[in-house]
């Protein structure tokens, strides 16, 4: 299935049905009178978070969604049926934004969440509504209220606990394949990974979700390479694992390049918790590896983890270190929710 993480769609709620002008005309009924019914309300436009989806590809081939118009009122005080709603089904982690692609309307992070984007127009009153002591035979009714319309953006941000960042060919996909059941494409050339991927890392008594995104290069925030559009998929992560290729001549420069792109992108990535790992440790001798680890430590201000996705060296320890940060983040969020509940509204 093709991966699509952003789509622009047009939505329109249904018009309300018109009220009816009608009078009773029955044999042997002494007094007639107005009996026009109201029109039905127009359909609403909803967005719902559902299971079983992991892409917005459905909105690549259909961009217009219109709810049904309410049925017009009828005689004998019959109210028209309401128009059918239209439902946009999206995967977990989808954000709904205004046409400017910046103003957030809704952030759907749990299965079952529903948000009404547009309300259908009200049905018009029939002439029975206008009967009064001074107007016994009203001959007018209201038209239905028009629905509303607009363009919106759907943007998918994968929900993961930890994210992998680094230059192309830094070993991100190899590591994801080594620690999870995911099967990303792995090859000896840059930009092998073209779409984000997820894998579930299982430890002894716990697990977490790890996200792999396409590699960054210098100038990615200006559109170089694949650009930084996929960085949104790690905005929700508790921690980033920054992988630096040990076979590069200057791993320190590679680290600074990626940090510069994260800082330029912003949106919280510049201040997110980070672990640094020197990958492909199996390809170097111990002396050269120690030298490069020392140079990387100077620029990252922390001793890097030494790992190899091929041989498995340091992988389990790295996953354990990631989970420790994730667990602390979860505990912090739980404490914040408890505090919010304790300071909430009271009678």
Q: Identify which of 144, 152, 150 has the alpha carbon closest to the alpha carbon of residue 126.
A: 144
Whether the predicted pLDDT of 120 surpasses 90? yes
pLDDT band at 28 (very low <50, low <70, confident <90, very high): confident
What is the rounded average pLDDT of the residues 26-53? 90
Q: Which two three-digit tokens encode residue 48?
A: 């719902």
Rg (CA), the chain: 29
Cα→Cα distances 113→88, 90, 194, Å? 12, 10, 30
What is the rounded average pLDDT of the residues 318-331? 90
How high does pLDDT run on average in the chain?
88
Return the pLDDT at 301: 86
Return the pLDDT at 282: 85
Q: Delineate the domains of the chain, giving CATH numbers in brackets.
A: 1-156 (2.70.210.12), 162-339 (3.40.50.300)
pLDDT digits (tens, 9 = 90+) for 164-220: 998 888 888 889 988 888 787 777 777 777 778 888 889 888 889 998 888 888 877
pLDDT band at 344 (very low <50, low <70, confident <90, very high): low
> Distance from CA of residue 115 to its chain's centroid?
13
List CB contacts of 58: < 8 A, sequence separation 6 or more. 89
Q: Cα–Cα distance between 333 and 326 in angstroms, integer? A: 11
Percentage of the chain lying above the pLDDT 70 cut: 96
Whether the predicted pLDDT of 346 surpasses 60? no
pLDDT band at 345 (very low <50, low <70, confident <90, very high): low
Write the DSSP string, 106-150: EEE-STT-EEEEEPPPPPPPPGGGG--SS-SS----PPPPPP-EE
The bridge status of strand 104-108 relative to strand 94-97 is antiparallel
Return the pLDDT at 72: 96
Return the pLDDT at 5: 86
Whether the predicted pLDDT of 347 surpasses 60? no
Q: Which two three-digit tokens encode residue 246?
A: 């040990």
Q: Which two three-digit tokens encode residue 88?
A: 């946009």
pLDDT band at 343 (very low <50, low <70, confident <90, very high): low
pLDDT digits (tens, 9 = 90+) for 251-291: 899 999 999 888 888 888 888 889 999 988 888 888 888 88
Identify which has the larger pLDDT, 46 or 336. 46
Whether the predicted pLDDT of 160 surpasses 90? no
Whether the predicted pLDDT of 104 surpasses 70? yes
Q: Which two three-digit tokens encode residue 55?
A: 């892409």
What is the rounded average pLDDT of the residues 223-243? 83
Q: Cα–Cα distance between 307 and 314 in angstroms, integer? A: 5
Q: Which two three-digit tokens encode residue 21?
A: 């002008």
User: Taking a C-beta distance cutoff of 8 angstroms, is the pair 34, 41 a contact?
Assistant: no
Return the pLDDT at 289: 87
User: Taking a C-beta distance cutoff of 8 angstroms, is the pair 55, 2 a contact?
Assistant: yes
Q: Which two three-digit tokens encode residue 332?
A: 């912090």
């Amino acid at each position: 299935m093709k991966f699509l993480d952003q789509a622009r769609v047009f939505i329109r709620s249904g018009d309300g049905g018109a009220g009816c002008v009608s009078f009773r005309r029955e044999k042997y009924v002494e007094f007639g009178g107005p009996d026009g019914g109201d029109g039905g309300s127009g359909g609403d436009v909803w967005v719902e978070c559902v299971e079983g989806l992991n892409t917005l590809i459905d909105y690549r081939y259909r961009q217009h969604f219109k709810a049904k118009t309410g049925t017009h009122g009828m005689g004998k005080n019959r109210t028209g049926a309401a128009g059918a709603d239209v439902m946009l089904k999206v995967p977990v982690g989808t954000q709904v934004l205004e046409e400017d692609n910046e103003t957030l309307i809704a952030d759907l992070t749990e299965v079952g969440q529903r948000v009404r984007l547009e309300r259908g127009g009200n049905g018009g009153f029939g002439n029975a509504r206008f009967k009064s002591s001074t107007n016994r035979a009203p001959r007018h009714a209201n038209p239905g209220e028009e629905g509303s319309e607009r363009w919106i953006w759907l943007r998918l941000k994968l929900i993961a606990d930890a994210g992998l960042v680094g230059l192309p060919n830094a070993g991100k996909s190899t590591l994801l394949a080594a620690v999870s059941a995911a099967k990303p494409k792995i090859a000896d050339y840059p930009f092998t990974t073209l779409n984000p991927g997820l894998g579930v890392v299982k430890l002894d008594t716990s697990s977490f979700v790890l996200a792999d995104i396409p590699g960054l290069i210098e100038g990615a925030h200006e559109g170089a390479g694949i650009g930084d559009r996929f960085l949104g998929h790690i905005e929700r992560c508790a921690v980033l694992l920054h992988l630096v290729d040990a076979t590069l001549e200057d791993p320190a420069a590679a680290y600074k390049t990626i940090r510069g792109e994260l800082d330029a992108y912003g949106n919280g990535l510049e201040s997110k918790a980070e672990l640094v790992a020197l990958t492909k440790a199996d390809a170097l001798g111990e002396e050269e590896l120690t030298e490069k680890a020392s140079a990387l430590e100077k620029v990252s201000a922390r001793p890097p983890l030494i790992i190899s996705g091929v041989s498995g060296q340091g992988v389990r320890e790295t996953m354990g270190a990631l989970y420790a940060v994730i667990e602390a983040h979860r505990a912090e969020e739980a404490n914040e929710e408890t505090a919010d509940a304790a300071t909430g509204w009271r009678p």
